[in-house]
Amino acid sequence: MTSAQRRAAFVRARAVLVAAVLGLTVAACGGQATAPADTIRIVLPEEPPTLEACDASLTGTGVVVRSNITEPLAERNPTTGALEPLLATSWTQTTPTSWTFTLREGVLFSDGTPFDAAAAAHSIDRAVNADIDCHIQGYVFNDSLETAAPDPTTLVVTSDTPDPILPLRLSFVEMVHPSTDADGKVREPVGTGPFRIAGWEPGTRLTLERNPGYWGTPPAFARAEYQWRSDSSVRAAMVVNGEADIATGIGPEDGAEELGVSFPNNETTALRLQATEPPLDDIRVRRAIGMVIDRDGIISALFEGAGTPAAQLIPDGVIGYNPDLRPEPFDTARAQALMDEVRADGVDLSAPIRFIVRSGLFPRVSEVTQAIQYQLSQLGLNVQIQMMDSAEGLEYQQRPFPEGTGAYILMIQHGNQAGDAAFTLDQYMLSDGYQSSYGIPDFDAAIAAAEALSGPERHAALAALFAREPEEIDQYAYIAHMRGMLARSPRVHYEPDAATGDEMRLAAMTPA
């Protein structure tokens, strides 16, 4: 190659390079995907593991499925707390153990099959009575139910024992197509909801489309597209950048700025004290722990004000909430005095106490954990933080608990989706509750008595239990009633509510 040829080749190469850079720049300025006007784009923290309707109480599944693809007989209004008709127009308690539901006429599944009482009975039997291990078992139903469909619009449901809140419990059962496998779970259900599944590219996206035969008002958006990103700052950035319309599970520090919308998410954070293990088996130690948690400091400094100090495990709006309870005042001196008393009685306080926390439980969970560890160390307790992933944490959260573990404190976050304290008490406060470490027979009996009541009496009896528990058992040191945050694009109208974390209704979203 002569020097002239080399020079010509160099000039050509430079021209190609410049063209490539220009092309990239032009593409960068105008090349990003724009949203079709009729599509709402949502970015979630994780891909739903399944869309199986009977697992809709799992947050990752429920947020896509509930009231979008499938619907229940009745649903709880997250603002008023009232149970409102949906696929059932009315219900009545016909015997102490039986309820009769009148079903809505003219409802079709998204494939055109009529919805009737037989389909409803099949859905309930599948979710409650079958052996396919639906996640509402234990959380919502402990007993089996009998179902009968005397005619297409009448459904009779009978429980083993009188259940004054059976319709509320049934609001957790999503109605599925009568052909849905009764002996196995399905990944993609057919329901009666305003949307049906249009496509699921595993790992990439899930698309829903309007159900053309929907019985109710057609939703404003024709399509919904779900994607998932595990990093919260990326989720927020997608909305800021116009790539998504709604991003869930973000924190105040994720950069959504004025697009961030805070809402009460029904979650309450607390420390569960493993009261069967020394030194946590001494109620004075548990009380002292409650006194040295600086709830106001944590909420203002780490939650940036998004939360309120908690004195019980349920927030306002749930039946059984006790408005008279006040959080234990932050009082190090009183707590120290209590600990001195314990020491004087010869109790050994030197044993290590593990502080078990699920990483990613809520934004800034690590910082909150460190703050609490410091506060507990002021009492002279030897507290060691142990961060765990969900699977490992579950071993300590649910029965049967691991044995021979020594003392541990577990950070929990409880959300009562159902709106009745029974769902909280059964799990968290009965002696043998799935997530309860300790209890006493008297209190168990009081829970059973309160849960058998209905109306205002029920509310008062449940509220009294929340006042009594700290006096007699004191299994929990409450931290805060939390608030959630999502990022919302200016092109969308959507007001999140207390149910949004578990059920995000696409029909409530409209173009701005």
Partner 1 sequence: MHDRPGRTRASAGDTVLTFLRRRAVSAAIPLLVVLLGVFLLARLTGDPTALYLPESASPADRAEFAAANGLDLPVWQQLLDYLAGIVQLDLGTSLRTEEPAAEMVLRAFPVTLSLAAVTMLLAVAGALLIGSWAAYRPNSPADRTSSFLTMTAASVPDFWLAVTGVWLLAVVLGVLPTSGMDNGVLSWVLPVAVLMVRPLGVLTQVVRGAMVSALSAPYVRLARSKGADGRRVVTHHALRNAAAPALTVAGDLAVGLVNGAVIVETIFGWPGIGKLMIDAILQRDFAVLQAAVLLTAVAIFVLNIAIDIGYALLDARVRDVATV
Strands 205-210 and 223-228, bridge-based pairing: antiparallel
Comparing CB distances to partner 1, the nearer of 330 and 434 is: 434
Query: Is 276 an interacting residue with respect to partner 1 (CB under 8 A)?
Result: no
Dihedral pair phi/psi, residue 474, rounded to 5°: 55, 55
Comparing CB distances to partner 1, the nearer of 50 and 211 is: 50
Structure tokens belonging to residue 458: 């029920």
Stretch that binds partner 1, among 202-210, 368-376, 411-419, 447-455 (CB under 8 A): 202-210
**Among 126, 169, 185, 272, which residue sits at the site for partner 1 (rule: CB under 8 A)?**
185
Comparing CB distances to partner 1, the nearer of 205 and 334 is: 205
Site string for partner 1, 210-229 (x = CB under 8 A): -----------------xxx
Distance CA 496, CA 485 (A): 9
**Among 398, 472, 493, 511, which residue sits at the site for partner 1 (rule: CB under 8 A)?**
398
Site string for partner 1, 350-389 (x = CB under 8 A): ---------------------------------------x
| Residue 233: CB minimum distance to partner 1, A | 6
Distance CA 114, CA 178 (A): 9
Helix (H) or strand (E) holding 307: strand 307-309
Residues 6 or more apart in contact with residue 277 via CB below 8 angstroms: 405, 406, 407, 408
Task: Measure the CA angle with vertex 188, ends 156 and 46; round to 5°.
Answer: 115
| Residue 7: CB minimum distance to partner 1, A | 12
Q: Which of residues 301-360 bind partner 1 (CB under 8 A)?
A: none
Q: 480 vs 164, 300, 302, 304, 362, CA distance in Å?
A: 30, 11, 12, 13, 12
| Residue 133: CB minimum distance to partner 1, A | 5
Site string for partner 1, 129-168 (x = CB under 8 A): --x-xxxxxxx--x--------------------------
Query: Is 169 an interacting residue with respect to partner 1 (CB under 8 A)?
Result: no
| Residue 363: CB minimum distance to partner 1, A | 15
Comparing CB distances to partner 1, the nearer of 25 and 378 is: 25
**Among 92, 204, 378, 384, which residue sits at the site for partner 1 (rule: CB under 8 A)?**
204
Q: Which of residues 39-78 bind partner 1 (CB under 8 A)?
A: 49-50
Distance CA 216, CA 386 (A): 49
Comparing CB distances to partner 1, the nearer of 49 and 406 is: 49
Comparing CB distances to partner 1, the nearer of 29 and 333 is: 29
| Residue 374: CB minimum distance to partner 1, A | 27
Distance CA 168, CA 231 (A): 35
Q: Which of residues 412-441 bind partner 1 (CB under 8 A)?
A: 427, 434-435
Structure tokens belonging to residue 439: 């209890």
| Residue 389: CB minimum distance to partner 1, A | 5
Q: Which residue has the tokens 């608030």?
A: 483
Burial classification of residue 259, based on how many CB atoms lie within 10 Å of its CB (0-12 exposed, 13-18 middle, 19 or more buried) = middle
- In three-state secondary structure terms, 62 is helix
| Residue 422: CB minimum distance to partner 1, A | 15
| Residue 255: CB minimum distance to partner 1, A | 7
Dihedral pair phi/psi, residue 324, rounded to 5°: -85, -10
Helix (H) or strand (E) holding 366: helix 365-377
Burial classification of residue 338, based on how many CB atoms lie within 10 Å of its CB (0-12 exposed, 13-18 middle, 19 or more buried) = buried
Comparing CB distances to partner 1, the nearer of 13 and 337 is: 13
| Residue 465: CB minimum distance to partner 1, A | 21
- In three-state secondary structure terms, 344 is helix
Comparing CB distances to partner 1, the nearer of 375 and 397 is: 397
| Residue 400: CB minimum distance to partner 1, A | 8
Q: Which residue has the tokens 């044993």?
A: 351
Query: Is 394 an interacting residue with respect to partner 1 (CB under 8 A)?
Result: yes
Q: Is the peptide bond before 150 cis (omega within 30 degrees of 0)?
A: no
Site string for partner 1, 231-270 (x = CB under 8 A): x-xx--xx-xx-x-----------x---------------
Residues 6 or more apart in contact with residue 133 via CB below 8 angstroms: none
Comparing CB distances to partner 1, the nearer of 66 and 286 is: 66
Distance CA 433, CA 417 (A): 18
Q: What's 168's DSSP letter?
A: H
Residues 6 or more apart in contact with residue 154 via CB below 8 angstroms: 100, 101, 102, 103, 117
Q: If we measure between CA atoms, which residue out of 223, 240, 219 comes closest to residue 491? A: 240
| Residue 27: CB minimum distance to partner 1, A | 6
| Residue 16: CB minimum distance to partner 1, A | 14
Distance CA 100, CA 123 (A): 16
The residue ranges that bind partner 1 (CB under 8 A) are 24-25, 27-29, 31-33, 49-50, 131, 133-139, 142, 185, 187, 202-204, 227-231, 233-234, 237-238, 240-241, 243, 255, 389-392, 394-395, 398-399, 427, 434-435
